[in-house]
Amino acid sequence: MIPATHIDLYQLTSLVAHFDAGRASLPVTMSVFSRKLPEGPDGEPTRGYLLFAGLRRCLQWLSEARFDDDAMRTLQSHPMLGPALRSRIDLRSMLANWSFRGHIEAPPEGTPLWAGRAVGPDGPIDIDGVRPSAQCPYLVVQTDLLSAKLIETPLLSIINHMTMVASKAARVVAAAGDRAVLEFGSRRTHPEAAVDAAYAAYIAGCAGTSNVEAHHRYGVPVLGTMDHFAVQSWEQPGVPRHETEAAFFRAFHAAFPDSSTLLVDTYATFGPDTGIPAAVKATDGRLSGIRLDSAITPENVRRARQMLDDLGAKQAKIVVSGGMDEHSIAALGDAPVDAFGVGERIVTSPDAPVGVGAVGKICEVQGRPSMKLSRGSGKATLPGRVQVYRHAGVDTVARADETLTGEALLRPVWTDRGPKALPDIDAVRAYSRRAVAALPPEARAPRRVDVPVTAKLAALIRERVEKAAD
């Protein structure tokens, strides 16, 4: 069981008013989406697309989330919410017995998506200051009003974080080309977020993670080298550091003779008695590789390669880490790096620190299209359920009952029978890599995008705006 209390309080307080009005069981449709591609502090785009991640975790949460007895006691003891719940036995019963039921459509996990200004057949849509965005939703959820309120916060939390990580990881992987990227960010985020980040980074193309739980839970390849802590812990009074460093290198290589990648910058990377020379000597030149974690410059990487070759360790690979991202990888140019260890710049993604702007908005109430207008703000939403068709690298957003040329992206993932089985993680990763590789070059570079909508959807937008003005 997963606690259903991973929600904002206002979801529950406003639910009381819905319950009192007899609307808790009202059928609604909620769309979960981003309005635009992420932008940096300067307002410039930092992504060319968003790589959807988190579907598996969302379905898991929906399958297992419950309010247990302890949670119900906590809710009833709250100074604001508690009195309302204690006086409404039927609402308490609804919460205590709640489990998600409904229908959900989503694009396949690992799909690159776009979001931006809605453009109709006559150009950008702007009707009396109502300027909607258009996109392929991450999720389209048909359920009751009570359930929609209970699931919005956790689903947004999952999708914002995991899609942020996957989108960043995809850029880093692209910059690395045919060289491996290892996700090393566990210690820069919450333990559970680290597992989600490892999953998201892997489906985006990273070769593996340092996170053992991600390997245990999802089968993400777990990879690693060694740490400065290990080298320093072998220090002994009266023994020179270069000797204790070499002693640890020997011990590590003896334990892992076929896979010893040694961290060589604890004291002095280029020796003469420490770092690379010590690593080669301690392993009789048979080490698998070295890791450089500081002073990463093209000159230092080339110097390390030359030193390894001159010392007879031509087979040793070079892994670099320490604040790496797509920009620092590009700055290394053709320096002879074999793999990159990337941590905080993937899992916390400083150029998109608040996720991907995912929001959840009602698009239908009792089967009737609903639209947030937000005049003058650019936050207007699309009315009604949609389907999105991808054709020749362009997405067109249509009403759900339209059929267009191309691939329909939104597919059932939850039905009356519950969640549908998803492909395994390696199949998701392979699909994602193919989907990204199929993008035209201009769709990968950071940019603002316009997203076409059909004439039928544009007409519905106009109808909703004009009716609101009556």
Q: What is the DSSP letter of 35?
A: S
Quote the pLDDT of residue 469. 61
Tell me the pairing of strands 339-342 and 368-369. unpaired
Lowest-confidence region among 18-27, 59-68, 177-186, 342-351: 342-351
What is each CA distance from 435 to 117, 170, 174, 417, in whole angstroms? 23, 11, 13, 29
Instruction: Report pLDDT for 241.
Output: 96
| Residue 134 CB coordination number (10 Å) | 29
Per the CB < 8 A criterion, the answer to whether 135 and 35 are in contact is yes
CATH 3.30.300.30, applies to 166-347 = no
Q: Which of 226, 210, 161, 218 is nearest to 190 (CA)?
A: 161
Given a contact cutoff of 8 angstroms between Cβ atoms, the answer to whether 389 and 406 are in contact is yes
For the chain, the structural domain boundaries read 26-64+102-154+361-469, 166-347
CA dihedral 193, 199, 200, 201 (to 10 degrees): 110
What is the Cα–Cα distance from 82 to 78, expressed in whole angstroms? 5
pLDDT band at 376 (very low <50, low <70, confident <90, very high): confident
Report the alpha-carbon distance of residue 331 to residue 128 in Å, rounded: 47
DSSP 8-state secondary structure symbol assigned to residue 323 = S
Phi/psi for 262 (5° steps) reads -105, 135
Rg of the chain in Å (alpha carbons): 26
Q: What is the pLDDT of residues 133-144, one digit of tens each?
A: 999 999 999 999
What are the CA-CA distances from residue 350 to residues 256, 342, 343, 417 (Å)?
Answer: 36, 13, 11, 40
Coil, strand or helix at 127: strand
Q: Token digits for 258?
A: 């076929």
Q: What is the pLDDT of residue 199?
A: 98
Mean pLDDT of 4-23: 97
pTM value is 0.96
**38: pLDDT strictly greater than 80:** yes
Q: 24: pLDDT confidence band, cut at 50, 70 and 90?
A: very high
- CATH numeric code, 26-64+102-154+361-469: 3.20.140.10
Amino acid at 91: L
Q: Is 179 in contact with 289 (CB distance < 8 Å)? A: no
What confidence tens digit (pLDDT) does each residue in 295-307 have?
Answer: 999 999 999 999 9
Give the count of beta carbons closer than 10 Å to the beta carbon of residue 263.
25
Contact 362, 181 (CB under 8 A): no
Element (H, E) at 29: strand 27-34
Paired sense of beta strands 317-321 and 289-292, if any: parallel
Cβ partners under 8 Å of residue 89, min gap 6:
none
Coil vs helix vs strand at 151: helix
HSE value, Cβ hemisphere, 13 Å, CA-based, for 440: 8
DSSP codes of every residue in 124-138: E--BTTB-BEEE--S
